[in-house]
Structure formats: structure tokens, C-alpha cells
Amino acid sequence: MGPAGGPLWRIPRWQGPRDPKGAVRRADLLPAAGRGVHRSRGCAAILRGLRGREGGLHPGGLEVSRFGAAILGCAGERLTAEEKSLYAEMKPFGFILFARNLADADQIRALCDELRSAAGFEAPVFIDQEGGRVQRLRPPLARDFAPPLAEADTGARAFWLRARIIAHELRGLGIDGNCIPTLDVARDQTHAILRNRCYGTDVATVVANGRAVAEGLLAGGVLPVMKHMPGHGLGTLDSHKDLPRVAAEPEALRAVDFAPFAALSDLPLAMTAHLVFEAIDPRPATVSERMVRLIREEIGFGGLLMTDDISMEALSGTVADRGRAALAAGCDVVLHCNGDLPEMRALAEVCRTMEPAAQTRAEAALAARRTPDAVDIDALNAEFDALIA
């Protein structure tokens, strides 16, 4: 456990001294003997889970996974009996919503409650609410925003306001995770499916705007998920349909594509990219042990690493094969979006248990959720409007 009084957990910059939930403290560690748990050699304590429940880590070899290693979608506006049964059995780490799941405010809140009830814990519910073309919630449920690249030069304050307003809208509906910031650096050749979703055409602008978005979401009680790690800006194909290949040398990638992710490596969650970096590994990054090791060791990301949607056609094999390969490569969680029940059942067979290190990162990500800061949302909207005018 280390020297008495030493740090038990790295506290990222976004977890300030007034946010003690962001750290694992000595009070969170229960002596194994004191809980009547048989302790294997090397076990000093049990990590307390959220709300005082015992968590899923035991360094002596006993593994009790509190989560399934998946984030799942659902088919419609309410859960079916079959979906409820699957989620109750699997206990996925979280869920993700799409336009097919969204009718009105009461329905969305009820669906979020159903999802968490089925999972048996306060599972995060994610969405892609980027602004522009990728914005699952539309008026009157949420404000329309321009594509991020169109406003890249408005400054970090405008991007913070944008994210804080979005967070306010999401939390009001029961949604507490958003798959932004998008840290891919836009180029002339970036595929149109992605380009105007980027935050800038240079590293400094992407980093400044991306940091502002992450902090705006966190201030509003919403978990940010940076994407598409380690960088999709050189992709010239749509990875929903094809596998992009990038020929750039590692030195060039480090200078531009990897740099924004390294600058924001303290964030709690990130999403991988389905593309090949030919000079590093012939396999897509999502299923490449070498690329995941680069994300961990070179870029320095220590948070929860989820895949991009595992059902996208950039990857080959069955959904179960893809999920198995992603976990074997070192991803923590497999994202499956389309709500197809047979596919989710097949995926459950390979994602039923979260690895101990992933469980640690999952608990840390959940601990980053906080009560939103009090704001005058009308004043924030007015300030944002003035900045983009």
C-alpha cells in the first residue's frame, strides 16, 4: 500500500481540493479482516465502492467485477423485458442514447431511470451531443449549435459556455455523459464525416477549445469522453463504412495528432479510433495492443478507455470477435450502439467481466461525476450569443 500517509490515488487537474470524491482515501479502504473476507497473500484491503459498497478489486487475486465491460444502446423509447433481463444479468458499465430513444423530456427521464434500475446502480448514460450535424437532442429539448469547426476561432470561453449549456440540458433529462471533446485535428483531407466536428486546424486551438469543453461539462455534472484517440484527423475514409489507413510517420503523428490527447490525458474517459497507423501497427487502433500501449505509456492516458462503436464496418469479424479483440488489446470497455439484441447477447459473453485494472479506472471515472455548479443559464446563453455574434 506504500508508506503511511502517502498518496493513494492520482488526482487529475479537474479534481480540485473541494472535490474529495475524486480521490480514493484511506477511509475508502476497508481492512479485509475487518469485513470477514478471506484474504489471499498480498491483499491489504478492499476498495470501497460507490456509496459505501465494497468494490471489485482485490490485489491478491480474488476478482469481483461490479460492472460488465460494455456500454450498450437500446432499441426504442422504453426498455423491453428482454433488454431489462440482459442488462440486469450483465450490469454494463453504462448506456448510450440515440435519436431513436428520444421523444420528449418525461420519456427520456423515464428511460434513463429504467436503464439504471436494470443495471442495479447509477450507471452513466451517454449521448453524442456535439453540436452541428451530430446532435441527438434537438429543439425544443435542447438548443441547436453550429458545427464546432465553424466557431473554432471564437475562443475557449465560448467553448466552455457551449459545453456548460449542453451539460445543463443533458442533466435535466437524466443524461450524465457526453462523447466530447473531439480532439482530432482537422486537415484539408479529413473526411467530411468528421471534419466540421473538429475544434480547430492546429494543435493549440484544439487543445484550448477541448480543455474548455471538458471543464464546462464537468462543471455541469456531465462526464466528458475525449475522442477519437489517438487521432482521426488524417483519416480520409468514413470508419462507419470503411477502414481508414494513415501512412504518416510516428514523429509527425506525435507532433500533431497525438498531441491534443497528451495535453488532456488527465481526463477521466476516452474513446478509441477505428483506423490503422501503418507505420506503427497493421491492426486498427481499437484492436491493437501496440496502439493501446502507446495511448497508455506515450500519450499518458490513465483513464477509462472505451472503443468507438464496435458495430462500425471499419472492423471485421463478428461483434463478439471484435469485442474480444478490443479487450485483449487493452481497451477497458466495449461500446455497442445499435441496440440489436442478438448482437448485445453475443457481446455479453465476452464482456461480462471487467478486468481489475479497468475496474479501478471505471470507479475513478464515476467518482468524477459531481453536483453541477449553480449557474444562471439564461445569462450563460446571452454571453455565448454575444461571443459568437
Structural domain boundaries in the chain: 1-64, 68-388
Residue 141: HSE in the Cβ half-sphere, 13 Å Cα cutoff = 19
Name the band, by pLDDT with cuts 50, 70 and 90, for residue 238.
confident
How far apart (Å, rounded) are the C-alpha atoms in residues 315 and 193?
17
Active-site annotation holder among 176, 308, 309, 332: 308
Q: Which pLDDT does position 8 carry in this prediction?
A: 34
Q: Is the pLDDT of residue 235 over 80?
A: yes
Q: Which pLDDT does position 28 carry in this prediction?
A: 38
Q: Is the pLDDT of residue 116 over 50?
A: yes
Residues 316-355 have pLDDT tens digits of 999 999 999 999 999 999 999 999 999 999 999 999 999 9
Name the band, by pLDDT with cuts 50, 70 and 90, for residue 11.
very low
Residue with cell 491492426: 283
What CATH number has the domain spanning 68-388? 3.20.20.300
Q: Which pLDDT does position 93 carry in this prediction?
A: 98
Residue with cell 479510433: 273
Cβ-contact 330, 41 below 8 angstroms: no
Q: Which pLDDT does position 4 carry in this prediction?
A: 37
Q: Which pLDDT does position 354 carry in this prediction?
A: 96
Mean pLDDT across 39-67: 43
More confident residue, 5 or 120: 120
255: cell is 507532433
Q: Which pLDDT does position 198 carry in this prediction?
A: 98
Q: Is the pLDDT of residue 115 over 60?
A: yes
245: cell is 489507413
Q: Is the pLDDT of residue 39 over 80?
A: no
Q: Which pLDDT does position 304 carry in this prediction?
A: 99
More confident residue, 32 or 348: 348
How far apart (Å, rounded) are the C-alpha atoms in residues 309 and 329?
16
Residues 255-309 have pLDDT tens digits of 999 999 999 999 999 999 999 999 999 999 999 999 999 999 999 999 999 999 9
Active-site annotation holder among 104, 153, 202, 240: 240
Q: Is the pLDDT of residue 14 over 60?
A: no
Cβ-contact 316, 287 below 8 angstroms: no
Mean pLDDT across 182-202: 97
Q: Is the pLDDT of residue 18 over 90?
A: no
172: cell is 435535466
- Give this prediction's pTM: 0.84
Mean pLDDT across 135-148: 97
Q: Is the pLDDT of residue 248 over 80?
A: yes
Mean pLDDT across 204-226: 99
Percentage of the residues of the chain whose pLDDT score is greater than 90 = 82
Mean pLDDT across 153-163: 98
More confident residue, 349 or 26: 349
Mean pLDDT across 229-254: 94
Number of Cβ within 10 Å of residue 386's Cβ equals: 10
Q: Which pLDDT does position 65 carry in this prediction?
A: 76
Please say if 240 is a catalytic residue.
yes
What's the per-residue H, E or C state across the chain? Answer: CCCCCCCCCCCCCCCCCCCHHHCCCHHHEEECHHHCCCCCCCCCEEEECHHHCECCCCCCCCCCCCCEEEEECCCCCCCCHHHHHHHHHHCEEEEECCHHHCCCHHHHHHHHHHHHHHHCCCCCEEECEEECCEECCCCCCCCCCCCHHHHHHHCHHHHHHHHHHHHHHHHCCCCCEECCCECCCCCCCCCCCCHHHCCCCCHHHHHHHHHHHHHHHHHCCCEECEEEECCCCCCCCCCCCCCCEECCCHHHHHHCCCHHHHHCCCCCEEEECCCEECCCCCCCHHHCHHHHHHHHHHCCCCCEEECCCCCCCCCCCCHHHHHHHHHHHCCCEEEECCCCHHHHHHHHHHHCCCCHHHHHHHHHHHHCCCCCCCCCHHHHHHHHHHHHC
Please say if 308 is a catalytic residue.
yes
Mean pLDDT, rounded, of the chain? 87
Mean pLDDT across 105-134: 98
Cβ-contact 221, 170 below 8 angstroms: no
Name the band, by pLDDT with cuts 50, 70 and 90, for residue 64.
low
Q: Which pLDDT does position 55 carry in this prediction?
A: 35
Residue with cell 440489436: 340
